[in-house]
């Protein structure tokens, strides 16, 4: 690791302070004892440079010399690869860290974040008539639409990133939630046309049908 730089907003409203996700990255870096710098980027005018590093226009992202990585979970795993204080080296130890990292993001935070948003919505009179969850999700789809408009697969060639992203969007498509996001819709169609998906899907249906 060379010159580690955590990029975060240069200002956020009071209520967000202490909760911006650069905290997780700073925390990991502190645990690891790795030197790093923090660079602030504007919260209001987020330019092309910002989106080139973080396609959702969010923070944080980390640069390590020429390497740039976004998504807090990915950044932590990236740091953990090089630091035994963040993840043990033995196979079972690594597996436990991976399973619990994904559990935090995918099993707990998928519930805790909407819960917090509903709670904030009920406690305030913001956006009357518009549900925060709709605004939140439309924002996410808007960013994914831009990403998927210009690439076939998320990480260059097909990868486990596409398995997870396509499956997350597939349920939305099944509920007609992608009608205004044609690139997302085409991506789901492309992914689910892959022979491996078709077979896995058919096999799952057959598996459960056995129990009928």
Ligand X SMILES: N[C@@H](CCC(=O)N[C@@H](CS)C(=O)NCC(=O)O)C(=O)O
Q: Which of residues 6-35 bind ligand X (CB under 6 A)?
A: 20-21
Question: Which of 28, 32, 41, 59 is the binder for ligand X (CB under 6 A)?
Answer: 59
The answer to whether residue 72 forms part of the interface with ligand X (CB under 6 A) is yes
| Size of site (CB under 6 A) for ligand X | 7
- DSSP states along 151-174: -SSTTSS--HHHHHHHHHHHHHHH
Question: What is the total residue count of the chain?
Answer: 212
Residue appearing with tokens 């993840």: 87
Question: Which of 7, 28, 69, 71 is the binder for ligand X (CB under 6 A)?
Answer: 71
* Smallest distance from ligand X to CB 71, Å: 5
CA dihedral over 108, 109, 110, 115, signed as positive or negative = positive
The answer to whether residue 63 forms part of the interface with ligand X (CB under 6 A) is no
* Smallest distance from ligand X to CB 186, Å: 24
C-alpha to C-alpha distance for 72 and 24, rounded to whole angstroms: 7
Q: Which helix (H) or strand (E) holds 134?
A: helix 132-149
* Smallest distance from ligand X to CB 60, Å: 6
The answer to whether residue 86 forms part of the interface with ligand X (CB under 6 A) is no
């Amino acid at each position: 690791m060379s010159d580690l730089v955590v990029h975060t907003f240069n200002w956020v409203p009071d209520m967000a302070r202490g909760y911006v996700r650069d905290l997780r990255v700073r925390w990991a870096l502190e645990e690891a004892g790795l030197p790093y710098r923090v660079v602030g980027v504007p919260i209001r005018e987020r330019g092309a440079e910002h989106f080139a590093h973080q396609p959702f226009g969010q923070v944080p992202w980390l640069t390590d010399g020429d390497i740039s990585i976004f998504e807090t979970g990915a950044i932590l795993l990236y740091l953990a690869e090089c630091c035994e204080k963040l993840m043990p080296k033995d196979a079972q130890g690594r597996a436990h860290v991976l399973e619990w990292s994904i559990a935090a993001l995918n099993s707990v935070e998928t519930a805790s974040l909407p819960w917090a948003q509903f709670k904030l919505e009920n406690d305030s009179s913001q956006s009357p008539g518009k549900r925060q969850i709709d605004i939140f999700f439309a924002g996410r789809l808007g960013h994914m639409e831009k990403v998927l408009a210009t690439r076939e697969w998320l990480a260059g060639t097909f990868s486990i990133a596409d398995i997870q992203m396509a499956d997350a969007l597939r349920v939305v498509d099944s509920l007609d939630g992608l009608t205004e996001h044609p690139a997302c819709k085409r991506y789901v169609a492309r992914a689910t046309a892959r022979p491996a998906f078709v077979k896995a899907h058919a096999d799952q249906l057959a598996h459960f049908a056995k129990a009928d």
